[in-house]
Amino acid sequence: MARLILFNKPYGVLSQFTDKGMADSKRATLSDHIDLPGVYPAGRLDRDSEGLLLLTDDGKLQERIASPRFKTEKTYLVQVERIPDDAAIEALCQGVTLKDGPTRPARVSRIAPPDLWERDPPVRFRKSVPDCWLSITISEGRNRQVRRMTAHVGHPTLRLVRWRIGAWSLDGLAPGAWRDAPPETPGKPIKNRGR
């Protein structure tokens, strides 16, 4: 049976077990939080993003989660600068054209500020510039895609927390903590929709 790990990646942690950066680098990695042989990330999460990262010891499961062809949905809680108007929300929903091509349609809605842990370091605060929280669900995973999408419509991302991947969510998992999960959540398996 494949092993699947749910990890709440803190801000500033690389989505890899070793730092292949500069020789004197002291950047935090997965090995600072997870001491399990044979598991590897199923996808990535930027160093300056937080939230759900899945790790598994099964290559086929890793591909089913991470490969764009399977269209696994990922939901992000996103704090952006200023309050997006309906046109900006609609543009994100329809898909925007980035340098690497158009994005697939997304589900986007304004939400109340979520009850999240404090980030270290905290998000910058400017009295003269309001902010807003969005829930954004995408079915692809390009490099820094959500950040590029919000910037494209004029609302740079201040904080990004991945809350859900497919059937798995961050519910009850503190930053830096991990737990085992069934590879297929009962009643909500990841379906092979890409073939």
Q: Give me the active site residues, please.
A: 46
Q: What is the distance between the alpha carbons of residues 62 and 55, in angstroms, rounded to a whole number?
A: 8
**CA nearest 165: which of 55, 59, 60, 80?**
55
Using an 8 Å Cβ cutoff, are 18 and 31 in contact? yes
Q: Percentage helix, strand, coil, to 5, in the chain?
A: 15, 30, 55
Q: Give the C-alpha distances (Å, rounded to integers) separating 129 from 79, 80, 100, 156.
A: 13, 10, 30, 12
Q: What is the distance between the alpha carbons of residues 72 and 135, in angstroms, rounded to a whole number?
A: 16
> Which residues have CB under 8 Å from 116's CB, separation 6+?
77, 161
> Which residues have CB under 8 Å from 158's CB, separation 6+?
79, 80, 81, 123, 124, 131
Q: List, in sequence order, the alpha helices (H) in 67-185.
A: 86-94, 145-152
